[in-house]
Amino acid sequence: MKTLVIAEKPDMGRTIAAVIEPKAKNNRSYLEGDHYIITWAIGHLLGLAEPDAYDVKYKRWNFGDLPILPEAFKIVPNPRTIEQLKIIGDVAKRCDAIVNACDAGREGQYIFALIQQQLGLNQPVKRLWISDLTAESIAKGFDGLHDSSEFENLTMAARARSEADWLIGMNASRAFTTKHRTLLSVGRVQTPVLALIYDRQKEIESFDSLSYYEIKAEFEQTGRKYIGTWQGDRLTDGEKAKALADKVRGREGMISEYDVKDTKEYPYKLYDLTLLQREANAKYGYSAKKTLDLAQALYEKHKVISYPRTSSNYVTEQNIDGMHKTLHMLKSTSYKELAEGASPGLVHVNNKSVCNPTRVEDHHAILPTLKRGANLSADEQNIYDLVIRRFLSHFYPPAEYKQHTVLTLIEEETFKTNMKELLSLGWKVCQPGDDSNKSSGRSKKKDEEEDTEELVSEPIQIDKDQPVLCLEAEAKEKATQPPKAFTEGTLLRAMESAGKQLENEELRDAMKDAGLGTPATRAATIERLKNVGYITMQGKRIIVTQKGRMAIELIRHAGVELLTSPEMTGQWERRLYQISKGEAAREKFMDNVKKFTLSIIDKVRIQPKADASLFETEEEEKSKSKGSRGNSTSTKQGKSTGDSSGSTPRPRASNTKDSTTKASSAPGVLTPLAPCPRENCGGQLIEGRKGFGCTHYKQGCGFVIWKEFSGKKISEAMLRTLLEKGQTQLLSFKDPEGDFKARIVLANRVTGQLELQKTDG
């Protein structure tokens, strides 16, 4: 009998096989050698079943059927990857031991646990727990396999997270959707993240800008010129500001105070995933999801970085030797100059800014591996470059400066000057092209109006005892600025630190290491908000849609504002961590989640129904109307509805009296119209306000047929004809170049894309 190794993804499985069974036979879905059979999941092969798996009545979304509280949760295979699940089951029959080689973390543990449960695998299990996929790490990991019992608590925490999310998501989404007749997606992470964006946008919209005046003066002393800013209460009177500038211009004064001190700036922390996503967004405009995908490819496909889904910025003692070896490897790459200029002695076990085992849980910070980066795409190279330069920076000394603070007194008016004299770049040689002044301004956010700082490389020579001449003075009108809209980078930072602004000191302290989601799930949360139509992007700025506004307002007005607060999800993550460490009971946690679920249903039940018009702006209506005028033979459905984002709207409950009569037999019910034509989907099509969409949108089905196409309204009868015959009967269309006849054709049974097929006549 052989040992079965189950990796999380194909690339990981093949990489492991190359180390433990280099001569293994490739059978496409698994590799087999003398001692091991290596196969893999493809991410999540299984998930929690939809409500209708417990009772067929749940196929119809009916408020009266809530809450849905399964006694035991059922799991179902993902129809798109069910063949791989069967293969794992088949090869397992020929093995008497199993190695869980899924990602070393809560989700990797959960993926394996569901496979084990579904297939009834009862062989003894060992756990491979490694942070990168280098041959050295894999070999070392197999030499020191862990017993699976060490991770039972982590598995319980993973199950609790998944089942609790199901209870809140399924019940709250159905409650708000059936109550307000518009599909409203609710989740314990996505909803408070949406609330963060909503609250920031409300701040921006309600911001009342105030005008004020800033007075800058140019001074000269023995040939040396410098700029100072007037110190005093904020001036809002333009005439007074101009008079003050006139008062000092051309006058001689003195230096009332002059302070010089040496300062050092140390390298920024090693990357965790969130920090990498933030910087990639700021520097390259990459979305959080794109950065995660690129980092995952660098880890899985190219093996040039360590496990990226980490929340740690530090390493352990065991990583130090590997870091030194990687530094040596980089001397034979395009980073040769930086690597040769580095000082290996700066990275050691006593350097707490790098090596801090108490701050490393499942995974250490993102590090480059011993494998050279080759054949990387341009985007992959950008992410790899960030990791390499951050890594190298810790082998360099701190940047050194002299900080000069000058107070200049002219006609009894005081002007302040901050100058930073560069003595040594230190680690900043690893950051070419960065604005050094910007890089050094980490503390400036403490006070938005702190005086600007001039960075100079030449020596500053100012004599405190010599007079100073004011060459010029000018009063400039300024305006207070509103808070900035979130970008994906700044939103990630807000998600990471969520809860720290809570007034309750005890709770704030309890949440100091918690946030909204985990590094591995934050990108998916942002994408989810886009996909359900709650947010949209304007360049790099995140904007809340009207639907997103209404979702937050309805939830808060229902009296379940805890759903919109980081408080709840922070408490959950903390409790899940305690469960994973055996410090809290899973059963108690789930009981509390069920009680909260019941309270949501009770409060939504008595909430007044929202008017349908509140979910859509005038601009959206105009866009829909304008976009429905398509007339080309190759008109695509996305374009015909003015959907420039390319995202797939989700099915919604009907809003008009007519459509309610057709689509439901009772208030708050969504009636299936036809099976989803997407192969192996298993969902049902329901009528929304703009189209007919699939109930399995949460599982990733993007099938939707819009109600308007090329000036024609798609009725239920036309929908059924399209699904059964693939095309409608011959229809008449108007066109400025001449009317024509055509059929509407279902061109894509996966997306629901429609096209026009003109007749020859």
The helix-helix angle for 273-284 and 288-300 (nearest 10°) equals: 120
Buried b (16+ CB within 10 A) or exposed e, 595-623: ebbeebbeebeebeebebeebbeeebeeb
Residues in the chain: 761
- Quick one: tokens of 673? 């119209």
- Alpha-carbon distance of 392 to 341, in angstroms, equals 10
| DSSP bridge partners of 6 | 39, 100
Using a 10 angstrom Cβ sphere, with 0-12 exposed, 13-18 middle and 19 or more buried, the burial of residue 116 is buried
Q: Which of 119, 420, 411, 96 is nearest to 263 (CA)?
A: 420
Question: What distances in angstroms separate CA 255 from CA 126, 382, 474, one per listed residue?
Answer: 73, 48, 20
DSSP state, residue 282: H
Residue matched to tokens 């899940």: 576
Contact 185, 532 (CB under 8 A): yes
- Quick one: tokens of 220? 């000269």
Which of helix, strand or coil describes residue 470? strand
Contact 163, 589 (CB under 8 A): no
Residue matched to tokens 């889904």: 309
Single out the catalytic residue among 198, 299, 307, 384.
307
Question: Catalytic residue at 284?
Answer: no
The helix-helix angle for 288-300 and 378-393 (nearest 10°) equals: 80
Q: How many CA atoms within 13 Å lie on the side-chain side of 755?
A: 9
Contact 221, 469 (CB under 8 A): yes
DSSP string, 211-256: EEEEEEEEEEETTEEEEEEE-SSPB--HHHHHHHHHHHTT-EEEEE
Using H for helix, E for strand and C for coil, what is the string for 91-128?
Answer: HHCCEEEEEEECCCCHHHHHHHHHHHHHHCCCCCEEEC
Using a 10 angstrom Cβ sphere, with 0-12 exposed, 13-18 middle and 19 or more buried, the burial of residue 307 is buried
- Alpha-carbon distance of 734 to 740, in angstroms, equals 6
Contact 379, 294 (CB under 8 A): yes
Contact 579, 567 (CB under 8 A): no
Q: Which helix (H) or strand (E) holds 175?
A: helix 152-180
Catalytic residues: 307
